[in-house]
Structure 1
């Protein structure tokens, strides 16, 4: 990866959601691409709900391990546990998991591995948070109550039961590119909206069996705990999430339809857990297909069919200027990293609200 490409990535933002990218990095480490064998990049999604009263003290040593092993990506630490996705060589990921296994409370972490030809992250971060996955409901504790875990091998039988309501707990932009057959789409924009969906659409006296799933399993830890707290009795969730299902279930036996959205620069993975067909609009962050990129509504770095009618003239001008500067930098074959990093982050922070507004307007359409 060239310096020009690195700055371009900083300008465009990491693909953590169609609206919000991660800001306030603990540390940005600029590394030449050759420090990771790009033909064997291992992507590791991991999480564990566990009481971590000492979580702040883990931040620095964990970051040091990641930097030392040339691992990139983001890990979140909170009093309720750890969550995140990182990438590096197989040896590096093994070393990280082994190190975590030696830390009090962090042994036997749930993790899923996938592979890519390119490094899907460009920075190394460990962040301290209030929650490792944000639902916005106080008192929900998966360590106290949670739904019934269902192995991928048993999932098909469960969701084929006509008495089971299958709910996709992910956001609408994720559901659009792939989901399980007959799954209900709550049409949420963020996980914070899920409790409202439950209150308005599900009734414990009517809906006796509910099965839920998400990308890696972590959102279902909280969503099933929430439903149990609301009086629902039979609540199930896919252990390891969609990624584990795709890993363990043969495609000819699979009930999964489409691709699975992932929160990194791959955008989506197919049933073989390889990078899929989707790209991402750099204006609204929505996943887009090659046919959508061929649309008149698509202008690289400026708009796509999803957002062309919701972006303001001011936003359009800013996106056009950003794209123009990137193209000029690429033609010059130069980039001013170092001193520009802070200013780039400031630009991205200021654009965060604009992107939110664009997405809100899009959702009203």
Structure 2
């Protein structure tokens, strides 16, 4: 009960900050993206929003930041399109806008996997709610008594910022590598309940469908990803922060910006200790891409 009270208090405090940051996506046939792009550009400009919106034939993905009233006005406009009337949104808060510019892009996929037969619009893999996952992890097995295995579908540099305890991390560098590596490890995950997860749910949605397609018989996706888990149950069974693709770099389980930063040169996450290195130059380099010389 105390943890729930603390989380509610933290969320109330965060809500008092000046800007709302939203993450949302939906897989749906979106066949007029060229027509809609200037409309999205215009309303975001009018409302002073910052962030990125991806318009693709398979749906929409967005990360936006702005004052509450403007965010609510934008969402009302988006949901007036029947295709997105049920668009679900995850929120966090910050004193400044979490993005520095506004981009509306047209892409082939919401998240690049290069598996055209995977179409979440036609049917999702089973999902598990954050509260249910926490209960499974608390008890060490799912409701049928099967051991639960967490599989991180994110890139290695994201995992390094934080992940679920005892998770399987295949050290992938890009999501297109996932189908091959998960197929190669199928036997090792037999007789287990596998829960795939990512930041907000997009990658694990495609990942879980692919795993079903290649014969995994007990696979789930974490509903809403890590951010929804933080929002609903906090940080139990999770170590570290969650990497996000904006100036905040990462969010802690209270959905507050962490003190890590991202190197503009190599995209590696730079911890507070690493920021003390003489090779960390904001916007130019860090110890990852410019290692310190070995002593003579």
Band of TM-score, shorter chain: 0.7 to 0.9
Give 2:289's match in structure 1, choosing from 307, 312, 318: 307
Structure-2 residue corresponding to 1:148 = 126
Task: Report the alpha carbon displacement of residue 309 of structure 1 after superposing the two structures with TM.
Answer: 4.5
1:69 paired to 2:47: yes
Q: CA contact under 8 A between 1:165 and 1:207: conserved in structure 2?
A: no
Give 2:114's match in structure 1, choosing from 136, 148, 153: 136
Structure 2 alignment gaps of length 5 or more: 1-15
Q: CA contact under 8 A between 1:74 and 1:85: conserved in structure 2?
A: yes
Q: Could you tell me the TM-score, scaled by structure 1's length? A: 0.70
Match of 1:290, SS state, is coil
Q: Could you tell me the TM-score, scaled by structure 2's length? A: 0.86
Post-superposition Cα deviations, 1:74-104, rounded to whole Å, max 9, x if no partner, equal 1111111100201111011111111111113
CA distance in 2 between partners of 1:290 and 1:208 (Å): 38
Task: Report the alpha carbon displacement of residue 295 of structure 1 after superposing the two structures with TM.
Answer: 2.5
Structure-2 residue corresponding to 1:275 = 257
Higher relative contact order, chain-length normalized (CA < 8 Å, sep 6+): 1
CA distance in 2 between partners of 1:41 and 1:237 (Å): 29
Task: Report the alpha carbon displacement of residue 250 of structure 1 after superposing the two structures with TM.
Answer: 3.8
Match of 1:105, SS state, is helix
Structure 1 alignment gaps of length 5 or more: 1-37, 311-365
Q: CA contact under 8 A between 1:133 and 1:218: conserved in structure 2?
A: yes
Q: CA contact under 8 A between 2:112 and 2:175: conserved in structure 1?
A: yes
Structure-2 residue corresponding to 1:47 = 25
Corresponding pairs, count: 271
Bigger strand share: 2
Structure-1 residue corresponding to 2:216 = 232
Give 2:102's match in structure 1, choosing from 121, 124, 128: 124
Task: Report the alpha carbon displacement of residue 120 of structure 1 after superposing the two structures with TM.
Answer: 1.6
Q: CA contact under 8 A between 1:172 and 1:187: conserved in structure 2?
A: yes
User: What RMSD over aligned residues (CA atoms) do the two structures have, in Å?
Assistant: 1.9
Q: CA contact under 8 A between 1:267 and 1:280: conserved in structure 2?
A: yes
Match of 1:196, SS state, is helix
Q: CA contact under 8 A between 2:186 and 2:216: conserved in structure 1?
A: no
Bigger helix share: 1
